[in-house]
Amino acid sequence: MGTGSVVRHAKMAAMASQATHLPPGPARSAQLLQRTRDEWRSSGDDLLLFAYGSLIWRPDFDYTEAVPARVLGYHRVLRMRSRVNRGSPQEPGLVLALVSGGSCRGLVYRVPRADGDAVLDRLWAREMPNGVYEPRWLNGLTPGGRLKALAFTLSRQSPNWTGALHEAELVHIFRHAQGRYGTTLDYLLRTVQGLRAHGIRDRELERQAHLAARHGLCAPLEERRLSP
């Protein structure tokens, strides 16, 4: 490894440590964006993004390919508190996060290198206004081989981690929580539909959608056999 590479890696390690210890807020978000941008630029590759939630049905950026992928070591859960995008300080909502353990099926988007900076800026404004997520480069298993893609993960130590919620709590959130992009319930239903469109079934998300339907908050999901 050359001197320039050593310096770059030392700089990124220092930025990672600094961002990790900052509380959620714009300063942490800005640090994480700069760290992620530096890591991506040093790769010399196109920008690869792992989508597991709303990015599947509303990416809001152009891409040259989208391939199915499975990430090992993380799974998708609707257990991250949202006070901006899908809720408010008065009625917090929920959004998805990747947390450690298990695996997760989703999509990997390839964004041309020339567009990467602009896409990161838009993605941060949408997903990271307060820097709650921890962006990580995860290995995704795809039909064409292994790809390292950027994903938004969450620590169980985060103040926005809810842990398991009782059904009554979920129903209250589905009934009342609304943020700048709409309701938590709409987010859940669109994600279930988006995953199904790509042949992905998430048992827990579908259970939560059925719960909302049983309480008259949405139409019943179309029943289809879940693959084992």
Q: What angle do CA 75, 212, 97 make, to 5 degrees?
A: 20
Among 58, 41, 74, residue whose Cα is nearest residue 123: 58
- Most distant CA atoms of the chain, gap in Å: 63
Estimate the crossing angle of helix 184-197 against helix 203-214, to 10 degrees: 130
Q: What angle do CA 162, 163, 169 make, to 5 degrees?
A: 65
| Structure confidence at residue 226 (pLDDT) | 46
| Structure confidence at residue 9 (pLDDT) | 44
Q: Using only the alpha carbons of the chain, give its radius of gyration.
A: 18
Residues 183, 189: Cα–Cα separation, whole Å? 10
Q: Helix or strand or coil: residue 183?
A: strand
Residues 202, 191: Cα–Cα separation, whole Å? 10
| Structure confidence at residue 10 (pLDDT) | 41
Residues 39, 47: Cα–Cα separation, whole Å? 11
Would you give per-residue pLDDT tens digits along the chain (228 residues)?
554 444 444 444 444 445 566 888 899 999 999 999 999 999 999 999 999 999 999 999 999 999 999 999 999 999 999 999 999 999 999 999 999 999 999 999 999 999 999 999 999 999 999 899 999 999 999 999 999 999 999 999 999 999 999 999 999 999 999 999 999 999 999 999 999 999 999 999 999 999 999 999 999 988 654 443
Among 167, 175, 172, residue whose Cα is nearest residue 204: 167
> Domains, the chain, ranges and CATH?
45-214 (3.10.490.10)
Residues 101, 157: Cα–Cα separation, whole Å? 15
Residues 5, 12: Cα–Cα separation, whole Å? 11
| Structure confidence at residue 223 (pLDDT) | 67
* Stated pTM of the model: 0.88
The length of the chain in residues reads 228
Tokens of 147: 């790809």
Q: Helix or strand or coil: residue 136?
A: strand
| Structure confidence at residue 191 (pLDDT) | 98
| Structure confidence at residue 222 (pLDDT) | 81
Paired strand residues for 81:
94
